[in-house]
Amino acid sequence: MARKQGSHSDITGPRVQDTALRLIARHGFAAVSMRQIASEVGVQAGALYNYTPDKQSLLFDLMQGHMVDLLDALRTEELHGDALTRLKGFTQFHIRFHLPRSDQVFVSYMELRNLAPKNFAIVERMRRNYEDALEDILRAGEAEGVFSVSDTRVATMAIIAMLTGLSHWYRGDGRLGMDAIESIYWDMVRKSVAA
Amino acid sequence: MARKQGSHSDITGPRVQDTALRLIARHGFAAVSMRQIASEVGVQAGALYNYTPDKQSLLFDLMQGHMVDLLDALRTEELHGDALTRLKGFTQFHIRFHLPRSDQVFVSYMELRNLAPKNFAIVERMRRNYEDALEDILRAGEAEGVFSVSDTRVATMAIIAMLTGLSHWYRGDGRLGMDAIESIYWDMVRKSVAA
DNA sequence: GTCTATAGCGGGATAGAC
DNA sequence: GTCTATCCCGCTATAGAC
């Protein structure tokens, strides 16, 4: 089956996405050229345009795809019960979803500036939905009297920043496994909003 | 005194730095051209090279300058007393220093990838020094028995991420003033490491 | 679907006049 | 110290052969 050239749409397509994600995470969107992506994929630059209309769409697809995956996974999680249980579920979900996706997290945080305005608005709306899921939990906890935060919005942003920051420094080959990390972060999150 | 052309080294120099910082914060280092910076400063592109040997040095000077300012200010703060008092001082210091410098914070977090390896090492060492100042406080609190974190390094990273995240969304014209923000964050930081 | 070739543009940096 | 002019390079995107 191996051909030196010809049709490879089934394998080249995913490879373009994967390669672009890795290179953009490492060097930044503006610093990565289509030639560079093509070279790592193993095709010529022109061939990339069979898979994306332009460079901007490539970035948008990566970021939108990540957010869609995130919101889908969160919905599947279906966090039930009292606020404390839901907060624990959210914390664990966030860590387990994001830790194995450090490149996506990096790109989604760093490259917002490079999205065209219309694309930015779409991604930003999805990010806001995710934040709102956490804020709902904090509000419920306030109502139950188990949480005490003077501002649920600020607390939401603080917790998400704390959790997401993890993806910026954690390396799976370090001294701490994902379970240990989860336990440490859950302890801090829980206490930070405790009544 | 106004001249259409001639010597302006005393005013052009700072303007180059300020303009570069603002443009890089908004668009990213790789996306900003020397021509664009020169245009906003009001000179031709070639004139920039009287103030910086190249584009890379311009970025490095911005980032190094920010870190030097940060570490100098922290030393001036001289946090004394018990661990809880020191932690409160660190939290307030961090917020008060970073909130009015959102462009510097943005650039310092986003553009590490664009530093040449040698420059990266220098900036990274200074960042590590800053983190260590917080970890010292957490260790002291553990020894005093007033803090309970299972891992001081992870707790350090979590707290700094939480505090720095503030700079990414806070806008001074919002509903919350700096004092209110400080109070909310201190409440969360304090509780997150409480014994 | 991929290739080669190229159009058209803008980038960083330098040279030399003033 | 700034200007104008320019070198040389790499970029995105497209055209047309296979």
Whether residue B21 is predicted with pLDDT greater than 90 in this model: the reply is: yes
The span from the CA of B73 to the CA of B93, in Å, is: 9
Q: CATH classification of B54-193 is 1.10.357.10, yes or no?
A: yes
Can you give the pLDDT of all 195 residues of chain A as single tens digits?
Answer: 444 566 777 899 999 999 999 999 999 999 999 999 999 999 999 999 999 999 999 999 999 999 999 999 999 998 999 999 999 999 999 999 999 999 999 999 999 999 999 999 999 999 999 999 999 999 999 999 999 999 999 999 999 999 999 999 999 898 999 999 999 999 999 999 999
* Sequence ranges of the domains in chain A: 1-52, 54-193
Return residues 36-75 of B near A (CB < 8 Å).
Answer: none
Tell me what pLDDT residue B5 has.
62
Check the CA dihedral A159-A163-A169-A175 and report its sign.
positive
Would you call B26 an interface residue with chain A, using a CB distance cutoff of 8 Å? Answer: yes
Would you call B138 an interface residue with chain A, using a CB distance cutoff of 8 Å? Answer: no
Would you call B162 an interface residue with chain A, using a CB distance cutoff of 8 Å? Answer: yes
The span from the CA of A102 to the CA of A184, in Å, is: 19
Tell me what pLDDT residue A5 has.
61
CATH domain B1-52 topology:
Arc Repressor Mutant, subunit A (1.10.10)
Tell me what pLDDT residue A174 has.
87
Tell me what pLDDT residue B2 has.
41
Residue, of A173 and B68, whose pLDDT is higher: B68
User: pTM for this one?
Assistant: 0.95
Whether residue B183 is predicted with pLDDT greater than 70 in this model: the reply is: yes
Whether residue B107 is predicted with pLDDT greater than 70 in this model: the reply is: yes
Give the gap in angstroms from C-alpha A192 to the nearest C-alpha of chain B: 4
Give the gap in angstroms from C-alpha B92 to the nearest C-alpha of chain A: 15
pLDDT in tens, B31-62: 999 999 999 999 999 999 999 999 999 999 99
A–B CB contacts, 8 A cutoff, strictly below: 106
Tell me what pLDDT residue B14 has.
95
Average pLDDT in the B69-84 region?
A: 96
Tell me the backbone φ, ψ of residue A10, rounded to 5 degrees.
Answer: -70, -30
Contacting residues 9-68/B vs strand C (CB within 7 A): 32-36, 45-46, 49, 53-56
Nucleotide nearest to A10 (CA to C1'): C1
> Mutate which of A26, A154, A186 to disrupt the B interface (most B C-beta within 10 Å)?
A154
Would you call A193 an interface residue with chain B, using a CB distance cutoff of 8 Å? Answer: yes
Nearest to B112 by CA among B67, B69, B52: B67
pLDDT in tens, B142-160: 999 999 999 999 999 999 9
Tell me what pLDDT residue A9 has.
74
Whether residue B103 is predicted with pLDDT greater than 90 in this model: the reply is: yes
- Enter the tokens of residue A186: 């859950």
Contacts with B113 from chain A: Cβ below 8 Å:
26-28, 31
Nucleotides of D under 7 A from a protein CB: 1-5, 10-16
Nearest to A140 by CA among A75, A77, A79, A84: A84
* % chain B with pLDDT above 90: 92
Would you call A83 an interface residue with chain B, using a CB distance cutoff of 8 Å? Answer: no
Residue B32 CA, nucleotide D5 C1', distance (Å): 22
The span from the CA of B186 to the CA of A150, in Å, is: 11
Average pLDDT in the B166-171 region?
A: 95
Cβ burial A75-110 (10 Å sphere, 16+ → b, else e): eebebeeebbebbbbbbbbbbebbbebbbbbbbbbb
Q: Given an 8 Å threshold on Cβ–Cβ distance, is A183 in contact with B113?
A: no
Would you call B169 an interface residue with chain A, using a CB distance cutoff of 8 Å? Answer: yes
Contacts with A168 from chain B: Cβ below 8 Å:
161
Q: Which residue of B has its CA nearest to A183?
A: B150
> Mutate which of B164, B188, B189, B190 to disrupt the A interface (most A C-beta within 10 Å)?
B188
Measured between alpha carbons, how far is residue B8 from residues B52, B54, B131, B179 in Å? 15, 20, 39, 40
Tell me what pLDDT residue A10 has.
83
| B150: nearest CB among A30, A31, A184 | A184
